[in-house]
Structure 1
């Protein structure tokens, strides 16, 4: 099953084409990396897939559903989650509450009356959510920091908080933008283990080629807004066009 289909996507800024007829697919359960030199269009592509930017041509489909004109919020509720190059955490909330925030949109059921009377269903939902928070904190190596305030954490740990929040609501498609930025070698290795263990589809942009080659099933290479190669890590590492444009 194809989880993500990008078909003929173009984005122009004035006379500059940031993306030019970009097309590729990501199969369900696959980890796909997007690489390329600075200015290749990687972040613009992520903005199009997540709905922050509408393409001037082409379309984006997730699980067979055309989401090209759908808002970022509706894409998120359809199962698409994203992290960013610059970490975006709620600094005044604890690590646990940062992750819990990703589940609040579901509501607790019963409305205000349920809050006032302590409806059992509401308490059950809250317990289930907190169990999920504990699960993803443990997965991301953050269980010892659940009560720490996010603002007090170094950038590497804030990035892991953002990852945990993205995972909390069982995403069907997870977009990771420079996920190893700010991580030390141990955290990067652990992140690779986490990504490979996920039962979801992952699209990631990353400059750490060791991480990309070790973690991804397939790789898409962009240069000057165009796809110049797709393939397995082994195929990409031996591709002369890619080596000339980026790896060489």
Structure 2
């Protein structure tokens, strides 16, 4: 690396640190002070406080923080985090005890093994939340039963004895483990917080709130959820690989399925939606355990089952109160410590216009056919759309309009026929790839992201244009990622202005009208910089006074060079914006031309408009 490159790197690091420090709130400084004080705890010789127990709690907090990414950000209620801890612990223990590995690479291997286990079970990320919980619960049982069934791997009832090792060049005492666990927890929390604030977190949030809308904007459901699942498993495996040396023995009984259940309870108790919530939940469970243990002995109850019963009661308590958790309950007070100007500054961002595309690609469909069972929804549809043209696709309910949009956008695959964008055949391209290539779509219903602002909703559509939006770059807050974030926010503001919602960037989506939500969805599609835009029922529910404004918006978009296919029932809007109308009936195109021309067709009169209405 040259001296000039080193100098540039140093300059960028100093700039990043200065930007981060300038954005710190009072709460951030308090967090730094708390971490600094926590690091001194092992040296204070507090009565009744065991450093090894505190270190083990911190390792559990690391695993819980990873689980918070899966549960809180991705919306996947995993009951398998304890299994990943077990995989990491026994991988590390086997490598240290039988192969003589040092602690650090053995622990990293434990994290890697947990990733492999997550990838092998990664199909669960496409399931509904209830099935995710059941599937990961089965995973927890399978791992535990495997350890019990193969004592050659687990050491049987005696477990695996882990030899003494050094950690970071020091004797692996409880104090050293405590400091390492605390540092790992801080790094995990900071990294996950950065990911949540960046493009990956926004995509995960969108997938959790409205999967159909998110995927229509180009978000890759499987990739993002699997990434969160694997990252969560890695943190669990790494924590397990380190904590097993602290315990000096890898005991299969410590990783039963109820251990995974307790971790999930801790995440929900502390607040899955908050980065620090899982760690707070682990601390709360630990404090409750201090009371539960003597109570169990007093009642002469088995301690293991009593702990599980207490965890179940806590879960019911949290769910009964809305499922928010401790940290979200405290957020109204925490919010007072934040700087109010940060969000306002973002809302004023600008400078990137959503304008003409770079080529003259057009959309062409040839002989599209789709049947569901014995019902033919679309039968031989062919159409062509040129750049800068607005065409309308009309027809009675059930005529095949929505099916046509699904085939064009890639949500459904045709039984016959093909779709081309320019000269590129899209036959094998999934929805997210079609969006990246320049084919965007809005949905028929007013689906929205209820937890996001208008600008954040639009930024979901911008993710397909990001080159530096990966989780690692987001976690490290690289200069490219930060610059790209500013550019994306500017594009989002411009997209909102293009649809007439300038000034609404920071408005929460639930506070918008249904018409405004449709425009936010349209702005989200525009943020992906489409060459072709498929718009479904833009004027649904719009009053007569709104139609002229909608027509102006459509004309502005068309004027930028975007080709628009409008599926619409409102004939007045069609008359204002569409140069060509295609009429569908029973899955077939029965007429094509201007609105006046198709209205004079006898076929259209009988099948759609009706002679009396003309």
**TM-score, normalised with respect to structure 2:** 0.39
Q: Distance in 2 between matches of 1:31 and 1:115?
A: 42
Please name the residue that 2:598 is paired with.
Answer: 236
CA contact (8 A) 2:499 2:523 kept: yes
Higher helix share: 2
Match of 1:220 in 2: 582
Cα distance in 1 for residues equivalent to 2:361 and 2:601: 25
Alignment pair present for 1:81 and 2:440: yes
Q: Is the 8 A contact 2:391 2:579 kept in 1?
A: yes
Residues 189 and 29 (structure 1), Cα distance of their counterparts in 2 relative to 1, 3 Å cut: same
- Cα pair 1:2 1:26 within 8 Å, conserved: no
CA distance in 2, matches of 1:150, 1:244: 42
2:361·2:531 contact (CA, 8 Å) conserved in 1?
A: no
More displaced 10-residue stretch of structure 1: 163-172 or 183-192: 183-192
Aligned residue number for residue 10 of structure 1:
369
| Distance (whole Å) between structure 2 residues aligned to residue 36 and residue 90 of structure 1 | 30
Pick 1 or 2: higher relative contact order, CA cutoff 8 A, min separation 6.
1
State the Cα deviation string for residues 165-223 of structure 1 (Å, max 9, x = none). 11112111111111111323333321211111212011111000111121111111100
Structure 2 Cα separation of the partners of residues 12 and 210 of structure 1? 32
User: Aligned pair in 2 of structure 1 residues 114, 133: CA closer, same or farther (>3 Å)?
Assistant: closer
The 1:181/1:80 distance shift into structure 2, 3 A limit, reads same
Query: What residue is the counterpart of 1:60 in the other structure?
Result: 419
Partner of 1:108: 468
Query: In structure 2, what is the equivalent of residue 92 of structure 1?
Result: 451
Change in CA separation of 1:117 and 1:43 when aligned onto 2, cut-off 3 Å: closer
Q: Is the 8 A contact 2:473 2:481 kept in 1?
A: no
Query: Equivalent residue for 2:492?
Result: 133
Task: Single out whichever of 106-115 and 15-24 deviates more from structure 2.
Answer: 106-115
Cα deviation code 1:91-125 (max 9, x no counterpart) = 10111111112223414379746864652x44432
Relative to its length, the structure with more strand (as a share) is 1
Larger radius of gyration: 2
Shift of 1:236: 1.7
Q: Deviations over 1:39-77 (max 9, x none)?
A: 111111111001111111111111121112211111111
Using the alignment, how far apart are the partners of 1:102 and 1:58 within structure 2?
28
2:601 is the alignment partner of 1:211: no
* CA distance 1:113–1:11, shift in 2 (3 Å): closer
Cross-structure match for 1:170: 529
Query: Aligned Cα RMSD in Å?
Result: 2.0
